[in-house]
Amino acid sequence: MKAINLAVFLWISLCMGALSPALAAADLYTGQAVTDSDARVEDRELLRAFDEVLVRLTGRIGESLHATLGIDASQVRSLVQSQQRIQVNGYDDNGEAIEQLRLKVVFDANRVNELLARNRIAQWGRERPAILLWIALDDDQGLRLAGSDPIALNWHILEQGRRLGLDIVRPLGDALDLAEVRVSDVRGGFLDAVQPGLRRYQAGIPAMLDLRTRSDGWSSRWFWRLDGRDRSLNHTAENQYELVERGLEAILAGLTERYATQQNESGSGALRVIVGPIVDSVQYAEVLRYLQELSMVESLSVVSARQRDIEFELIISGGGFEDVIGLGDLLSVDQRYPDGRLYLQLNQ
């Protein structure tokens, strides 16, 4: 293939200018709260919706962050972009179908980020690895790998994923899956068994849940792997859905502890990165789009192009750039220069 023409790239960059990425994924900044009527929005509903957003961003479970920050309902209202009531069909803790009326509130991402930065609270951006979750279920129907059934259990898993900002992927349970993973693997927490499936499902975190009914309720054993380290959590509860909630909250807490970073309250900083080898305009466009859409990148511009290497200047807020690059599979950090520049290798 032909090497990249420097003049072509400089012309493209001049035409596009300093590129500003899209705002952070809207779902992270959209909170919901169950409401009793379609009358005026109550302060408690608005604050619950706001706390849901703060939990996603900070991983702080079991505390009312708006209270910790000393923010009242009037201040939260100033962060609202839009709100509406929606009807949600779901399941209660007994597995019975229910309908809920909820307040759905979209908050201003930039202003929420500024609020957290001002209070020096680390947050986790939108670059979040998918979690591949296998479940071994032992109930009155016997021991089995749980797939799309029972429906109520799957609804609660996806609902907790929405609430916590976690991308939960359930395996199809087809012949290829069953050839790799057995129910005994899940009950034993043998996470190596699901490693081949991570690429198939484009997931980054393997997780297993061993869920069993007891005479007095339910028990669970969670297993997951983060940065090559296996972690686990055991719990008992009156119903299985509480155990789903506790396990996914623990995974969120671990991920935010690992990836959350302190945003810059006073301003942004510049970072030079060199990306290569780039051999054609398609690869260039892919790299450009990827860097542009990173949540911490406010703008970027092309500095130079030499042979198959392109040097960019990124204006970024906060830290954790290398961690974010490590979450994806397009680029990897190959070299760190004494002047602070990074060489990012384009993975073919």
* Segment among 89-98, 261-270, 277-286 with least mean pLDDT: 261-270
Query: Maximum CA pair distance of the chain?
Result: 73
Give percent above pLDDT 70 in the chain: 90
pTM: 0.79
Q: pLDDT for 206-224, tens place per residue?
A: 999 999 999 999 999 999 9
Task: Give pLDDT tens digits for 227-256.
Answer: 889 999 999 999 999 999 999 999 999 999
> Which position has the token pair 């939260």?
76
- Count of domains observed in the chain: 3
Range of the domain at 303: 6-23+263-346
Same domain flag for 162 and 254: yes
Which range scores top for mean pLDDT: 54-68, 127-141, 298-312?
A: 127-141
Query: Based on the domain organization, do 325 and 230 belong to the same domain?
Result: no
Of 89, 118, 147, at which residue does a domain stop? 118
User: pLDDT tens-digit profile of 315-337?
Assistant: 887 777 888 888 888 888 988 98
- CATH number for the domain spanning 137: value is 3.30.160.100
Q: Is residue 34 part of a domain?
A: yes
Using a 10 angstrom Cβ sphere, with 0-12 exposed, 13-18 middle and 19 or more buried, the burial of residue 118 is exposed
For 191-208, write each residue's pLDDT tens digit: 999 999 998 999 999 999
Given a contact cutoff of 8 angstroms between Cβ atoms, the answer to whether 196 and 237 are in contact is no
Cα separation, 301 vs 48, in Å, equals 40
Please count the CA atoms within 13 angstroms of the CA of 18 that sit on its side-chain side: 9
DSSP bridge pairs for 333: 344
The answer to the question of residue 123 being in a domain is no
Q: Which residue, of 211, 238, 259, is where some domain finishes?
A: 259
Pairing of strands 309-316, 297-306: antiparallel
Q: Pick the last residue of a domain from 231, 259, 287.
A: 259
Average pLDDT over all residues of the chain: 86
Span 117-134, mean pLDDT?
90
Looking at the structure, tell me whether residues 113 and 151 fall in a common domain.
no
273 exposed, middle or buried (CB, 10 Å; 0-12, 13-18, 19+)?
A: buried
Buried b (16+ CB within 10 A) or exposed e, 40-55: ebeeebbbbbbbbbbb
Q: Is residue 126 part of a domain?
A: no
